[in-house]
Amino acid sequence: MSNYPPPQYPPPYQPMPQQNSTTAIISLVAGILGLTIFPFIGSVIAVILGHMAKGEIARSNGTIGGGGAATFGLVLGYIGVGLSVLGLCVFGAFFALPLCLGLFGALSAPNSNSMLLPLLLAA
């Protein structure tokens, strides 16, 4: 037979692992913090960075990953913003609105000629 060594083939192509977007990870962390420690600020940061990360991932043509983290950061951010707005509305309905309408003043002065106190006590 021949004295030639067997042919050497190059190793199969292994693609580089996809690097996650740092902006997406920060958006996810800010979304979690927005629901726990920093209610409104963290949520707004999560929404802004989530949209930035989605754009960065789309422009990278598949070289940067982390779309799931960016989406989850966006969802948590929007939930946090919604809960903050809801909390402000509830606060306004229970404290600021009665204060503006003078309900606390009418309740604190029972000898006044206000017709509001008998209506509230009858209910």
**Which tens digits make up the pLDDT trace of 28-83?**
999 999 999 999 999 999 999 999 999 999 999 888 999 999 999 999 999 999 99
- Evaluate whether residue 7 is within a structural domain: no
- Evaluate whether residue 2 is within a structural domain: no
pLDDT for 42 equals 95
Select the more confidently predicted residue: 95 or 123. Answer: 95
- Evaluate whether residue 12 is within a structural domain: no
Host domain of residue 30? 19-122
Please give the backbone phi and psi of residue 84, each rounded to the nearest 5 degrees, phi first: -65, -45
Contact 39, 91 (CB under 8 A): no
For tokens 């000898």, the residue is 111
- Evaluate whether residue 103 is within a structural domain: yes
pLDDT, tens only, 72-117: 999 999 999 999 999 988 888 887 777 777 765 555 555 555 555 5
Q: Is 100 helix (H, G, I), strand (E, B) or coil?
A: helix
